[in-house]
Amino acid sequence: MGDASIGAEKYAEAGCAACHGDDGSGGTSGESIRGVSAHELAEVLLRGEDEGEEHEGAVGDDDGEESDGGGQEMGMPAFPDLLPYAADLAAFLSDQAGSPAAGSQPTDTGSQTPPADTGTQTPPADTGTQPPAPTADGQAVFDSICSSCHVLGAYDTVGFAPDLSGKGSLVSTKFGGGANHMGNTLTDAEIQAVAGFLNAN
């Protein structure tokens, strides 16, 4: 989740309002961008949008008044510096989307972009944010299965089987590929989780 107040600040600083309106509901040249997702925002900030280049002229461009020149006049410039604030901007714009506006429906009218378009460029800011969370609880696995036999450092000092402290890397040698160790099997996620737990104790 982004911070809407930071988003509002960046929105004002960067001059988005000049084209999209004070609240993102549309201004002189931009369409309404309320309710845009952080992902979509990141992409637009990274690449900009060249209006009309792909929407029009598909059928017949005989009367091409302006061909593919510089074409920067009505397009959306890129704001790569704002990439780290994509989530904040999205929070700001979604706050606005929730405000009571009688005339306009803040539904997903803006999502006509084909999925192939979005998959081409992943913004770098997006990837580093989420740490890989283990899906299994290593401590729970140890407590319920291993602790009856094994010692584990200072965490579990009672047991007849070897101390597993710091021996996470050995877990897969006992359980890898669905192998049975003393009548127990573990899923891959459990192996990973309990290995992490052993290495931490």
Of 49 and 101, which has the nearer Cβ to ligand HEC? Answer: 49
Query: Which of 41, 46, 91, 193 is close enough to bind ligand HEC by CB under 6 A?
Result: 41
Query: Which of 6, 78, 136, 149 is close enough to bind ligand HEC by CB under 6 A?
Result: 149
Number of residues near ligand HEC (by CB under 6 A): 42
**Which segment (61-69, 97-105, 114-122, 145-153) binds ligand HEC by CB under 6 A?**
145-153
How many Cβ atoms from other residues are within 10 Å of residue 76's Cβ?
20
Residues 82-104: b if buried by 16+ CB within 10 A, e if exposed: bbebbbbbbbbbbbbbeeeeeee
The structure tokens 């397009």 sit at 75
Nearest to 145 by CA among 102, 198, 105: 198
- Distances from the Cα of 48 to the Cα of 77, 80, 126, 130, angstroms: 5, 9, 17, 25
Does the protein bind ligand HEC through residue 46 (CB under 6 A)?
no
For residue 160 the two structure tokens come to 């007849």
> One symbol per residue from 83 to 102: x for binding ligand HEC (CB under 6 A), - otherwise; what is it?
------x-------------
Of 119 and 131, which has the nearer Cβ to ligand HEC? Answer: 119
Distance, in Å, from the CA atom of 67 to the CA atom of 143, rounded to the nearest integer, reads: 70
Q: Which of residues 118-137 bind ligand HEC (CB under 6 A)?
A: none
Query: Which of 5, 29, 122, 135 is close enough to bind ligand HEC by CB under 6 A?
Result: 29
Q: Which of residues 159-198 bind ligand HEC (CB under 6 A)?
A: 161-162, 164, 167, 170-171, 174, 181-182, 184, 186, 194
Of 89 and 91, which has the nearer Cβ to ligand HEC? Answer: 89
Q: Enumerate the β-bridge partners of residue 15.
A: none
